[in-house]
Structure formats: C-alpha cells, structure tokens
Chain A
Amino acid sequence: MDALILARMQFAANITFHILFPTITIALGWTLLFFRLRWLKTHDEAWLMAYRFWTKVFALTFALGVVSGITMSFQFGTNWPGYMERVGNIAGPLLGYEVLTAFFLEATFLGIMLFGHGKVSERVHLIATFLVAFGTTMSAFWILALNSWMHTPAGYEIREGEFFVRSWFEVIFNPSFPYRLTHVLLASGLTVAFLVAGVSAWQLLKGKANASTGRALRAGLTLGVVLIPVQILVGDMHGLNTLQHQPQKVAAMEGVWETERGAPLLLFALPDQADRTNHFEIAIPKLASLILTHELDGEIKGLNEFKGEKGWEHPPVAPVFFGFRIMVGTGMLMLLFSWVGLWLYRRRGWAAERLPRPLLWGLAGMSFSGWVATVAGWYVTEIGRQPFMVYGLLRVDELASNVPSPLIALTLAMYVTVYVTLIVAYIGVVKYMAEKPVDMSAPLPRTPEPAGAQA
C-alpha cells in the first residue's frame, strides 16, 4: 500500500480512538457537576454515590483522552508536515489556544477534583469541578473551530501558496462552525445520556443496583429525551449548511449521481462507484428533496457534476452513504429508547426495579450507542471532505510526509494493537466497576453549614 493511504489510516485510527473519550468527558463533566450540586442541595447520599461512581468512570475516560490527544499533537507533524507548512498560520494559533485555555485548565484542576477531598473546601472543589467541565468544553470549541474552518474556510488569503489570516473572527466563526459545534456538543450529551442510562440498566439487570442507580437512570433518560429532538433539529440545520457549502458531500450522503429534481430518500442502496450508480435501492419518492430543500421538487446536485482537473472531486461514496445511515439509524433508536424508557419509568412510579427487563436489556445494549453515532457522523463529515484537506483549496495528497511506507505500516500496526486492547479493557473495566459496590467508606465530604446556622 502506498504511504498516503497508510498515513491516512493511521491518522484516522488515532482520531477515531481519541474522539471516543472526549465525547464522554465533555458532557460527563457537567453531569458530575449536576450530581454534586444535587447532593449539596438535598443531602441525599444517593447523589453522592452517583457522583463517586461516575467520577471513577470520568477519571479513567479522561486518562484515555489525554494520552490519545498527546498522540494527535505529534501526528499532525509526523503524518501531515505539509499541512502545517501551508496552513500553520491559521491552524497553529487555534491549536495553541486549545492548549493554553483548555488543556492545562482541565488537567490541573482534575487532580483537585478527583483527590482534593479534605484538602480544599467544598466551594473550591465545586469550582475545580466546574473548571474541568469548562475546560473540556473550551477544548471542543477550539478544535471544532479549526475543523470547521477546514470544511468551510473563511477569513484567509493565500500568498505564494501559504495561508495567512485576514480576519480571526471570520476564521473562528466560519460558516459551518456554529452548526458543527452544537451538533458535536449535543452528540456528547447524548453519548453520556445513554452511557449513564445503559450502565444503570445493567446494574439493575445484574442485581447490583444501589440507591443511586434509579437516580442515574432517570437523569440519563431525561437527558436523552430532551436532547434527541434538539439534535434532530440541529442535524437538519447542519445538513442544510453542508448542502450550501459542500454539495458533493450531501450528494454522497444521499447517493445521488445525476442532478435531479424531486430526489427520493434512499433508505438502503449499494452505491457502485465504478459504474456510477446504485444497486438494490429502497427509496421514498421526493423525500430527499423535501428534507434538503424544503420543496418536493427541489434540485439536488448529483456527484457527476463534480469533475476537476485531476479527476473526480467528490468523496468515496459508500463510506459516506453508509456512515450517514448508521448515524441517523442510531439517532432514531435513541429517540425510541429514551422516550419509551422515560414514559414507562414514570408510569411505574419511578420504581426502577419494576421496569420491564426487555427495556433494561435494550438500554444496556445502547450503552455505547453514542460512540457508534459519533464515529459514524465523523466519518461522514471527514470522508465527505475528501479529496481535500482544506475544502476546495488543498488536496490531501499534496500534504503527506515522505516517511517510507513500511515504517508507517509498522507504527500503524502498533497503534491499532494498543487501541483495540485499550477499548476492550475500558469497556471491561466500566462493566466491572458497575458490578462492584460503590466505596462509601470514605468519610462524607464536609458540606457547607445551612444558611443562618451561625446565628
């Protein structure tokens, strides 16, 4: 295999592994803050138990996110030296601000958040928890600003092949950024909603439930119920934004080869890039046009329109097409399970042990559904940008390194081995921790005196 494809596989393997963990920690940080605040307000130990259990999951997840993130900061240079040489003036400061305003903040206060018990006041501890959650979110802000800029570049000028910034505001708030950031933050919320609900359901199934399990289940389901409709709406807006700026990505998502009016929505098909057609289509007439243009006879540009000097300038169709269906399909399952789950839970008078077992099995099975949807969505958007690194301006094949391919293949094999082992270990340990009673032997944290107690 040639070095370019190996470098791409290696980078893809790394970002795929990396995204799994921040997508949990971003929203889990805020969830922990919520549990902690509930405990302070109600003095109900169940909330503290939930906090302690999920803090362990958070610490483990955070460690995996940190180490895979460090790998990424190196792979920009090892895999895409041309990228930083050409786009460094734009990408550099954005990545720099991520390190300066987010990484140090979260990493430093994580120590206090995890182990500060008895050493700092409850107020300082709360602030530390807040800063960790805030740091993870800031990190998403900067990295998505850069990622979005690569999809919808703005505010730049090119002099002698090198990019320079004309307006930082336009660079950061580029056209796809607000949609992408919202979409990703909501995805993180949903990932955590189903992780929390799923692990709680698992505890109920295995007879390992404790006082906090019902609370966590309800919190997870409620989060899912609230966020999934918002996500569907935001996803639609993001899709319209993509249609405006990257029509060939949408054409690949919908499997549209020839430009057509009143395009059908393909529920299933096998796109065939060699013959430039689809096989085995199952379609709903006119629906794709309706969704994308909000008109039954709206026009959708086909993939055949995108031919450049160097051949086809559209992404490989099958991964984008299937990735999109996997993401949307998972979203629909999330809608079903969260709404049915919360409705049943309410009808059973919030008695978790009376929930039907098939529902619990379903929820447990959905524990990592957020990962599936997030990764599928990322593949749609990133593969959908091909063959460009910076959409319309820089092709990926111009930017690769000249490291010999056997060396890339060797390191790729090492990384993949480590990553697969760690994903298995991670899921195994989360399961093991869920089945173990929460350690409540540590003394309760000091709680602030109720107001007026001093009088």
Chain B
Amino acid sequence: MNWAVALPVIFMALMGLAMLAYVVLDGYDLGVGLLLPRGDDGQKDTMISSIGPFWDANETWLVLGVGILLIAFPKAHGMILQALYLPVALMLIGLILRGVAFDFRVKARADHKPRWNLAFFAGSGIAAVSQGWMLGRYITGFAEGPLFTLFAAVIALLLPAAYVLLGAGWLIMKTEGELQRIAVRWAKLAWPPVVVGMGLISLATPWVSETVRSRWFSMPEFIALLPIPLMTLAALVVARAVLNSKSVLGRLCWLPFAMVVTVFLLGAIGLAYSLFPYVVMDKLTLWDAASATESLAVIAIGCAITVPTIAGYTVYAYRVFWGKARELRYA
C-alpha cells in the first residue's frame, strides 16, 4: 500500500468521525441549551444536570476535528478558517458564553442566575446558528452569490432545529415525570421544521453544486445511493411515530434520540460521499492539502493507540452517569 495516498484518506475519515461525534454529542447539549428558557426553574436545573458531566468532553471532539484539519491538512485549515473568519469568531464567542454560564449559573449569586441562564441559551443559539451557516458555506466550497448566501442561511436555521430535536430526544431519554412529557411536546414541535428543512437541503444541494449533482444523479449510482435518503426518511418517521406512543415515556425512551442520531449519521455519510476527495469542494483535494507523510505517520500511530482508549473511557463515563439524570452534587 502507498502510504502517501492512504494516510490522507485515513485522516479524512478520522476527521469526519470526530466532526460527526462533535455534532451528535455537542448537538444534544446545544439543543438542551436552546430549550432551556422553556423549562421552569427546577426543570432548568434538571436539564443542565443531564448534560453536566459530559459537555466538556463533548466539546473536545471539536478540538480534535479542527486539530486534525490543522495537523493533517494545514493548507485547507488556513483556507477554510479564513473564509469562515466571522462565523468562526461568533461560534467561539457562543461556545465561550455557553461553557462558562454552565458553572457561573450555580456558583454566582442567586439573583444573577437568570442572567447566566440567558447567557447559556444565547451562547447555545449563537454557536448553533454559526455552525449551520459554516456548514452551508462549506458544502458549496464558499461560492459567492445571493443564491449561495440563501442556501447557507437556510442551513443556519435548520441545524439549530435539528439540535433542538436531538436535545429533546436526549431529555426524553434522561429525564422523567413532567419534564419528560414536555420534552415529548418539544420534540413534536421541532420535528416538522427539521423534516421540511432536510427535504429542502436535499433538493437544493445538487442544484447549487454541479459536483454533487453529477455524483448523485447518474446511473447506476442513483439507485445504489437510494437507501441513504430512504433510511433517513424512515428514521424520521419512526421517531415521529414513537413520540405519539405511550412507551416513549418508558421502555422506548431512547428511541427518538437514537433515530435522530441515525439521521445525523446518514447525513454525514451523504456529505462525505458528495465531497470526497475534496477537502474544500472543487478547490482542494485531500492529497493536495495533506502534511508530509512522515508527520502523518507519527500522528497516525498516536491516534491508533489513543483514539480507541478515548472511545473506551468516554463509554465508561457515559456508563457511570447512566440512567435518569439526578441533581448534581460535588463529591
């Protein structure tokens, strides 16, 4: 095997996985942040308790994803981050507000708590909208024009909606009683915009991008790829159906969350297929953007050892806090 060809592909896959892990993991806690104002005071505390032990590690996947972009594809890193300069800055400020509000809201004076709750909500919102915008700009390879701006703007609204659906799914799984029942209602409210939005994006993406169109709408690829949109649709329908059943409050409380995660997974597969082998759509392939093979090899060895370990102890941490969320107390 030729490592100079294979290593960039391996790193592209790893970066994709890290980004997917980030979107799913931080996605649910950003979604909970967006739902925060809708809960009463007690529910707010429970909502935040449900993400308390995890948010920090969840965000680290973003650092890994951007880190791999930086390490493995330095030329793409510079190009992408300069093109997304302002939304990146906004997202970072959102993440800063959200991350610190988490601690400040319970540690500051009680009468300041509403202010930090607001910061938590606003930070989650700013981060989610900026991420959606960046995704929209990225898919089209930063093409300029009113059409592309509109395209990015729609995704900037869709991604937060998807996060809300994911967050509501998380709450259904991790809470009980009144909050769980309200979370089902939130999930129902978030479902239609997500479905409509995803439909629009699926139609618009091949329309705005020549490359995507040729990849999806040619035979026999079209038939081979058909399971991706069909399974996405099925997952969304299952999620909606189970929201109507009583078992969503009990035995099947994990199902809506799992279905939304499946939707994200399928979306990531579709995106990966659309992009490959580009790191920046139509502009830069992953081999052109890659670092020296020797450097990639050094990190690849490290990744081979540490990434499974990280996955292992992440699963362990989730097991420690398995089940319904309880009030958080320092040990």
Residues of A within 8 A of B (CB): 52, 55-56, 59-60, 62-64, 66-71, 73-74, 76-78, 81-82, 84-85, 88-90, 92-93, 95-97, 99-101, 103-105, 107-120, 125, 162, 164-165, 168, 401-403, 407, 410-411, 414-415, 418, 422, 425, 428-429, 432-433, 442, 445
Contacts and interface: CB of A to CB of B under 8 A. Distances in A.
A442 B329 CA distance: 7
A104 B86 contact: no
Given A110-B57, A115-B328, 5 more contacts: A74-B81, A84-B78, A88-B291, A93-B71, A422-B96
B324 to A, nearest CB: 13
A113 B310 CA distance: 17
B184 to A, nearest CB: 26
5 contacts: A52-B330, A66-B56, A71-B92, A111-B52, A418-B96
A342 to B, nearest CB: 29
B89 A415 contact: yes
Nearest to B78: A81
A96 B60 CA distance: 12
B82 A107 contact: no
Contacts of B82: 77-78, 81, 401-403
Contact of B291 (A89, A119, A401, A432): A89
A88 to B, nearest CB: 4
A107 B302 contact: no
Contacts, number: 221
A108 B314 contact: yes
B56 to A, nearest CB: 4
Interface stretch (B97-105, B161-169, B216-224): B97-105
A53 to B, nearest CB: 9
B80 interface: yes
Interface string B279-310: 00000000000011011001100110011001
Contacts of B292: 89, 162, 164
A107 B330 contact: no
Interface string B54-73: 10110110111011111110
B273 to A, nearest CB: 26
A66 B100 CA distance: 9
B60 to A, nearest CB: 5
Identify which of B93, B100, B331 gathers the most chain A CB atoms within 10 Å of its CB: B331
A425 B295 contact: no
B246 interface: no
B108 interface: yes
B261 to A, nearest CB: 20
Identify which of B52, B64, B89, B306 gathers the most chain A CB atoms within 10 Å of its CB: B89
A73 B107 contact: no
Interface residues of B, number: 62
Contacts of B62: 70
A76 B328 CA distance: 36
A23 to B, nearest CB: 17
B330 A114 contact: yes
B74 A92 contact: yes
A67 B100 contact: yes
A414 B57 contact: no
Contacts of B299: 92-93, 96-97
Nearest to A125: B331
> Top 3 A-B pairs ranked by shortest CB distance?
A81-B78, A111-B53, A117-B331
B321 interface: yes
B69 to A, nearest CB: 8
A107 B67 contact: no
B169 to A, nearest CB: 21
Nearest to A92: B71
Contacts of B63: 69-70, 73, 99, 103
A407 B102 CA distance: 29
B295 A88 contact: yes
Given A89-B291, A115-B328, A59 B103 contact: yes
A49 to B, nearest CB: 11
Given A78-B88, A418-B93, A115 B331 contact: yes
Contact of A112 (B96, B108, B317): B317
Nearest to B84: A78
Given A88-B71, A88-B74, A411-B86, A429 B104 contact: yes
B74 A85 contact: yes
Nearest to B76: A77
Interface in B83-123: 85-86, 88-89, 92-93, 95-97, 99-100, 102-104, 107-109
Contacts of B107: 56, 60, 429, 432-433
B52 A165 contact: no
A71 B96 contact: yes
Contacts of B60: 66, 99, 103-104, 107-108
Contacts of B314: 104, 108
A208 to B, nearest CB: 15
B81 A115 contact: no
B137 interface: no
Nearest to A88: B74
B22 to A, nearest CB: 11
A213 B158 CA distance: 52
Identify which of B69, B77, B108 gathers the most chain A CB atoms within 10 Å of its CB: B77
Contacts of B185: none
B95 A70 contact: yes
B321 A67 contact: no
B75 interface: yes
A47 B93 CA distance: 37
A92 B289 CA distance: 14
Contacts of B54: 111
B103 A63 contact: yes
A90 B103 CA distance: 36
B12 to A, nearest CB: 15
Nearest to B98: A67
Nearest to B314: A108
A120 B320 CA distance: 7
Contact of A414 (B56, B69, B93, B330): B93
A62 B79 CA distance: 31
Identify which of A55, A92, A410 gathers the most chain B CB atoms within 10 Å of its CB: A92
Contact of B85 (A68, A85, A407): A407
Contact of B294 (A59, A89, A96, A428): A89
